[in-house]
Amino acid sequence: PALNTVTPISSFTFGDATATSYSLLITSINPTEDWFTGVTTIKHKYPANGTYIFQYSDCCRIGGLLDGNSGLSQLMQTSVTVGGTPQNNSPVTTVPAIVNFQLNTPNTFTIPGYDPDGDALTFSITPTANSGLTTSTPPGLTLSSAGVINWTPTVAGLSAFSVKITDSKGDYTTVDFIL
């Protein structure tokens, strides 16, 4: 894709037996590392009160990933609670698509996250069945319940990683990124 163009990408499922296709407005491109980012806006009206699982999946992850995760489908989810008193919103994160870690050096990175309702957050590794990954964590990586990653990479290359951010009321968001 070219910068500032609209590119059809994939679809979202809303957890109520409906789905929609979407396109991205391309906002940045890195041809050297073979990736791009973009923005889109999706609006959906749910048919009734309840909790729904909004899901994005797309093929394929970038090539060259370590741990058998190269070329696999991406899968990200968030729970959406409609109705209820008080209303509850899912956690939000602004983690970048790629987080750089220094080789053979202890690294610490805190995943940015907040809850629009002020609920306490807990971070966990997304199970492989819910992330599309074959290997859930690179060797030696740890994630605290506060969202702090500690890792000393000993092999050069990129690894895929998925984190589930859950609020104290049970709503959650999964986020997929590259280390």
pLDDT digits (tens, 9 = 90+) for 12-46: 899 999 998 888 899 999 888 777 888 888 888 99
What is the reported pTM? 0.85
CA angle 62, 99, 59 (to 5 degrees): 25
CA angle 129, 151, 110 (to 5 degrees): 80
User: Rounded mean pLDDT of 58-75?
Assistant: 81
CA angle 83, 91, 130 (to 5 degrees): 100
Q: How many residues does the chain have?
A: 179
Q: Which residue has the tokens 């492989």?
A: 128
Q: What is the pLDDT of residue 87?
A: 81
User: Rounded mean pLDDT of 44-66?
Assistant: 86
Q: What are the pLDDT digits (tens) for 99-120?
A: 999 999 999 999 999 999 999 9
Report how far apart, in Å, the C-alpha atoms of 42 and of each of 12, 82, 117, 130, 158 are: 9, 16, 21, 22, 30
Report how far apart, in Å, the C-alpha atoms of 77 and of each of 13, 31, 57, 166 are: 10, 28, 9, 11
Q: What is the pLDDT of residue 23?
A: 87
Q: What are the pLDDT digits (tens) for 138-148?
A: 999 999 999 99
